[in-house]
């Protein structure tokens, strides 16, 4: 009897040992080996370098190959955020630490072996291309991983460190003004080479991001440098289909290279130099101080004819883009976060006439301002539609018209006591990641149900390119004829595109701007 008990204990011990060893915890990647941290059935690897530090001579250069490290690197904590005004990230619970040495990524995996070939989702943070960090708690990938996905979050340079263009930089090599986008591409190349070791499937990668991260997803969909690095794309409140910005045109951001280079030279002059070599010796803190507040958005990705070959609307019409299934959408009250105080009928009229020129009357008809209160609402809605809603609508229409893969479009309109007028910018993120903010108390049953549905849609899309599955309301493919979008509000289901008259007015405006730009 004693022998039988002893044999049983030995068997159980061996089984327990095998079970523990079957969880992936140490992985060999480009540069060396990394050891993660287990939390239940999920192992996280934080702070994995995917490129050399972009410091010293590597400042304002494309990301360079990662440097090898000896032994096993303990991947147990986030790297500092890229150089920025960290006040916004701190507001969302991230550490304040920033550094130019910031090209690191993080992985959450549920895989027990490296041959599971799970779908991979790569998160790109937002922040107006001026801020953002992977360490913001809302972006924790644990709950995605619990649903059978390998979740990766990547860092990229922001502000002047990521998007400075000058003629000198242009002569040094390609990509001037788009170093932050090149960081994303380098991270995706790392994923392609290494993610299989974490149990992921390098042939089933979904890129997704919000705000500037969603705009970056759109840019990667149009960049020849990103071709083959992902198979699906999700953009939350992002899109880059407006014409290039030459002066003070309303609702436009990205500049042609020559204008961005002129802006870059002016920035160097404000630092007291006109030489890139000298500027590379300046402290990062000095450069950041000169940049200004967190969301000043002085620097933006550039149409450089390399990373971004040109106007994305034109590229799509010419079928020159990375054609994948897309899942894209916006929130109902996005403009509230950016609303300017003190808007009046007169000031709104001046703003529209200054920015929209010959199409000002078309815009004012779609966004009325007969009273100061009405002008304030129209001002925030015009920002919502130019920055987020129209680019998303244009993207969906182009994809459905010329793409071989489907477009799925959503409209997040979940209202709460804190957001009675609609969902503000970024309000969907806690629901997407399943990280509902505990500071207001336990989430309601309705919030938990909505988050569960959204996560199911996102994960289904990452698995197959189709968000639908049994037990979920059917999400129809967007077409130009039906233009149905999935509403996430009190009920979940398809409805017509919201705010269509306003989007059509903006379409008229952007078509005119594009025709004027082609005359240059």
- Let me know if 334 is a catalytic residue: yes
Say which residues have a Cβ less than 8 Å from residue 227's Cβ, sequence separation at least 6.
322
* pLDDT on residue 18: 37
pLDDT the model gives residue 465: 97
Cα separation of 112 and 38, whole Å?
A: 11
Q: How far is CA 49 from CA 69, 114, 220, 276, 462, in A?
A: 10, 20, 21, 26, 25
In a domain, 496, yes or no: yes
Q: Of 236, 249, 334, 428, which is the active-site residue?
A: 334
Q: For Cα atoms 330, 478, 243, give the angle at the middle one, nearest 5 degrees.
A: 60
Number of structural domains found in the chain? 1
Given a cut of 50, the residues of the chain with pLDDT beneath it are: 1-21
CB neighbour list of residue 141: distance below 8 Å, 6 or more residues apart:
44, 106, 107, 108, 123, 151, 152, 153, 433
Dihedrals phi, psi of 11, to nearest 5 degrees: -60, -45
d(CA 351, CA 332): 23
Collapsing DSSP to helix, strand or coil, 189 comes out as: helix
Written in H, E and C, the secondary structure of 127-170 is CCCCCCCCCCHHHCCHHHHCCCCEEEEECCCCHHHHHCCCHHHH
The enclosing domain of 439 has a CATH number of 3.40.50.1820
Tell me whether residue 18 is in a domain: no
Tens of pLDDT, residue by residue over 312-368, are 999 999 999 999 999 999 999 999 999 889 999 999 999 999 999 999 999 999 999
Q: Tokens for 30, please give them.
A: 């480009």
pLDDT at residue 230, rounded to an integer:
98
- Residue 285: active-site member: no
Q: Which of 211, 218, 237, 379 is catalytic?
A: 211
Assess if residue 8 is contained within a domain. no
DSSP reduced 3-state for 48: strand
Region label for 94, one of left (φ > 0), alpha (ψ between -120 and 50) or beta (otherwise) = beta
User: Torsion angle, CA of 409/414/419/421, rounded to 10 degrees?
Assistant: 70
Half-sphere exposure of 426 (CA within 13 A, CB side): 18
pLDDT of residue 295: 62
Whether 225 is covered by a domain: the verdict is yes
Cβ contacts of 416-422, under 8 Å, gap ≥ 24 = 419/333, 419/336, 421/333, 421/336, 422/331, 422/332, 422/333, 422/336
Residue 438 in domain:
yes
* Distance from C-alpha of 469 to C-alpha of 451, rounded to nearest angstrom: 16
- At a CB cut-off of 8 Å and minimum separation 6, what does 210 contact? 125, 126, 236, 237, 238, 426, 428, 429
456 touches 156 (CB < 8 A): no
Structure tokens that stand for 299 in this block: 């620097």
Catalytic position from the list 218, 235, 378, 425: 425
CA distance 52 to 30: 12
Q: Nearest Cα to 160, choosing from 245, 60, 73?
A: 60
Range of the domain at 243: 41-68+76-517
The answer to whether residue 4 is domain-embedded is: no
- For the entire predicted model, the pTM comes to 0.94
The answer to whether residue 423 sits within a structural domain is yes
Angle between helix 372-384 and 345-356 (nearest 10): 30
DSSP 106: E
Note the pLDDT of residue 439. 61
SS3 letters for 60-82? CCCCCCCCCCCCEEECECCCCEE
């Amino acid at each position: 009897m004693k022998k039988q008990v002893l044999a049983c204990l030995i068997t159980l011990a061996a089984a327990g040992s095998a079970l523990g060893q079957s969880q992936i915890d140490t992985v060999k990647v480009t540069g060396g080996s990394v050891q993660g941290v287990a939390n239940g059935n999920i192992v996280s690897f934080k702070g994995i370098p995917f490129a050399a530090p972009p410091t010293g001579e590597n400042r304002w250069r494309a990301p360079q190959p990662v440097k090898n490290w000896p032994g096993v690197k303990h991947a147990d904590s986030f790297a500092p955020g890229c150089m920025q005004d960290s006040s916004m990230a701190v507001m969302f619970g991230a550490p304040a630490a920033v550094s130019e040495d910031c090209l690191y990524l993080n992985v959450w995996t549920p895989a027990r072996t490296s041959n599971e070939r799970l779908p991979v989702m790569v998160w790109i943070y937002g922040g107006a291309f001026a801020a953002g960090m992977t360490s913001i708690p809302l972006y924790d990938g644990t709950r995605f991983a619990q649903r059978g996905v390998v979740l990766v979050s990547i860092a990229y340079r922001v502000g002047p460190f990521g998007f400075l263009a000058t003629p000198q930089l242009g002569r040094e090599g390609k990509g001037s003004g788009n170093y932050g986008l090149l960081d994303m591409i380098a991270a995706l190349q790392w994923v392609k080479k290494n993610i299989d070791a974490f149990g992921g499937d390098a042939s089933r990668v979904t890129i997704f991001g919000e705000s500037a991260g969603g705009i970056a997803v759109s840019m990667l969909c149009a960049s020849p440098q990103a071709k083959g690095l992902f198979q699906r794309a999700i953009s939350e409140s992002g899109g880059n289909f407006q014409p290039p910005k030459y002066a003070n045109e309303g609702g436009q951001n990205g500049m042609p290279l020559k204008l961005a280079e002129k802006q870059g030279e002016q920035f160097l002059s404000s630092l007291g130099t006109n030489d890139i070599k000298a500027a590379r010796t300046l402290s990062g803190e000095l450069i950041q101080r000169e940049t200004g507040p967190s969301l000043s958005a002085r620097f933006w990705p550039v149409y450089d004819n390399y990373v971004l070959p040109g106007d994305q609307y034109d590229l799509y019409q010419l079928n020159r883009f990375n054609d994948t299934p897309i899942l894209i959408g916006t929130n109902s009250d996005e403009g509230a976060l950016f609303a300017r105080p003190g808007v009046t009928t007169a000031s709104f009229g001046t703003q529209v006439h200054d920015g929209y020129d010959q199409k000002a009357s078309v815009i004012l008809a779609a966004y009325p301002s007969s009273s100061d209160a009405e002008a304030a609402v129209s001002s925030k809605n015009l920002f919502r539609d130019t920055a987020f809603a129209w680019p998303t609508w244009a993207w969906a229409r182009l994809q459905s018209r010329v793409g071989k893969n489907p477009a799925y479009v959503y409209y997040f309109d979940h209202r709460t006591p804190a957001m009675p007028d609609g969902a503000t910018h970024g309000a969907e993120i806690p629901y997407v990641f399943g990280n509902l903010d505990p500071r207001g108390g336990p989430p309601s049953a309705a919030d938990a149900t909505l988050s569960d549905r959204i996560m199911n849609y996102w994960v289904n899309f990452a698995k197959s390119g189709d968000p639908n599955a049994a037990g979920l309301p059917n999400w129809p493919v967007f077409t130009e004829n039906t233009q149905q979008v999935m509403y996430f509000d009190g009920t979940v289901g398809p409805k017509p595109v919201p705010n269509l008259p306003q989007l059509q007015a903006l379409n008229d405006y952007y078509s005119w701007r594009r025709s004027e730009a082609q005359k240059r």
